[in-house]
Structure 1
Amino acid sequence: MDKKKLNAKDFINIGIFTVIYFVMFFITGMLGYIPIFAVIIPLVLGILGGIPFMLFLTKTGKFGAATIMGTLVSVLCFLMGQSWISIPFGIVFGFLADLIFKAGEYKSWKHTVLGYCVFTEWVIGSMLPMWIMRDTFFEAYRSKGGTDEYINAVMGLTANWMLPVVIVLGLVGGVIGAYLGKAILKKHFVKAGIV
């Protein structure tokens, strides 16, 4: 059997860690009821998701795992009522992360950090409607019971110049989350030979 190809155990791990990572996304989304948190979701998710994602990497460490996780988590995001835009973002950024992990042969810490930072950017897809479909997005939010006070606060925090800032926040969150995950899961990293 080819040890570099995903097997049944890997698919089980992908499923388990996708659920755990999605719980982190859900918690981050709940914080979004505070206006500022609606904008810094990539930073918070990058940090919170770092621990399960780093453990996920040590358990799988094969090409395709991040792509599958990115696809699954973005589909779950869509099923929870987010925009469909999150799906192509989940697939693309999951695949790019896979390419980076593979370039480091799943042993390079530098590639691990960079790959996770890139993976974290999938969440921008779920937020993009706040900028590119602004009126539709906030009108839909209002129809679901969103208050004018909250909507005005979020609209004030999502000026066009804020989108690049949010993208950078995702990268910062990814770095913090990767180091936090490594610190907590040091034993697993030694075992997986990631240096």
Structure 2
Amino acid sequence: MKGLKVQELISSGVYATVYFFVVAIATFLLRFTIPTFNTLFIPGLSALFSGVVYLIVINRVPKFGAITIVGSVMAIFFLVFGYFPLAFLPSIVFPLIADWIQNKTNLQEKLKTYLSYVVFSFGLTGPILPLWFMKEAYVASLLNRGKDMTYVNSVFAPITTASFFISMGATLVLSILGLTIGQKIYQKHFSKEARKGIK
């Protein structure tokens, strides 16, 4: 973070806000289209929509720290709004790893960008991973928040081994697809060449 100048920190904050709204839109759409399984597909659909935002971040602020800031906005949201106590961690850890891949490795550029974005996209799995791996603690957390067992059972209804692989697989596939689509949008509207054309 020390390498980021004030203007770059501000820009990262702006892109983080944009990313937050993209995730909010994905969540909103899923809740009205897949009411039972919507939570499991939030990371994947968000990754499908966020590719162009990620490309803007890595091209406009090509320094270590920017990706971490953008991803961590969701960690703050999960903390403030009372999600499962550990839900915020992936939103810091995965973006941090993605940041390292993008800015600290010597991988081929295209591979590096795809790999870092896939890893970044898993940052939104924080609220759902405990459903499979920390069920008892998650149930206790819901009950402590005043939820009844009817609600708890509805939350865990779709939680199976198959749904885990479907959710994680969707995140993987949709992040790759999202970045591919994002590259086309970026080249057409946000690249240096596109901005020169506007001028």
| TM tier, smaller | 0.7 to 0.9
The match for 1:162 is 163
CA distance in 1, matches of 2:42, 2:144: 20
2:27 to 26, 29, 34: 29
Which piece of structure 1 moves more, 151-160 or 78-87?
Answer: 151-160
**TM-score normalized with structure 2 length:** 0.78
CA distance in 2, matches of 1:151, 1:77: 19
CA distance in 2, matches of 1:77, 1:178: 25
The match for 1:98 is 99
Per-residue deviation, 1:115: 0.5
**Residue correspondence of structure 1 range 18-97 to structure 2 within 5 A:** 18-30=16-28, 31-32=30-31, 34-97=35-98
Give structure 2 stretches of 5+ with no counterpart.
194-199
Q: Residues 48 and 147 from structure 1, CA distance in 2 versus in 1: closer, same or farther, beyond 3 angstroms?
A: farther
Per-residue deviation, 1:173: 1.7
Per-residue deviation, 1:84: 3.1
CA distance in 2, matches of 1:190, 1:72: 27
Q: Secondary structure at the match of 2:161?
A: coil
Which piece of structure 1 moves more, 11-20 or 166-175?
Answer: 166-175
The match for 1:5 is 3
Q: Could you report, residue by residue, the CA deviation over 1:62-89 in whole angstroms, capped at 9, with x for unpaired residues? A: 1121122222321122212322323221
Give structure 1 stretches of 5+ with no counterpart.
none
CA distance in 2, matches of 1:89, 1:48: 19
Which piece of structure 1 moves more, 167-176 or 25-34?
Answer: 25-34
- RMSD of aligned alpha carbons: 3.0
Per-residue deviation, 1:142: 11
Question: Do residues 118 (structure 1) and 119 (structure 2) align?
Answer: yes
Output the amino acid matched with 1:111. Answer: K
Which piece of structure 1 moves more, 54-63 or 150-159?
Answer: 150-159
Per-residue deviation, 1:135: 5.2
Output the amino acid matched with 1:16. Answer: V
Per-residue deviation, 1:21: 0.6
Tell me, yes or no, if the aligned pair for 2:51 and 2:178 is still in contact at 8 Å.
Answer: yes
CA distance in 2, matches of 1:104, 1:10: 23
Output the amino acid matched with 2:15. Answer: F
Tell me the percent identity: 24
The match for 2:196 is none
Equivalent residues, number = 187
Per-residue deviation, 1:137: 3.9
CA distance in 1, matches of 2:93, 2:136: 27
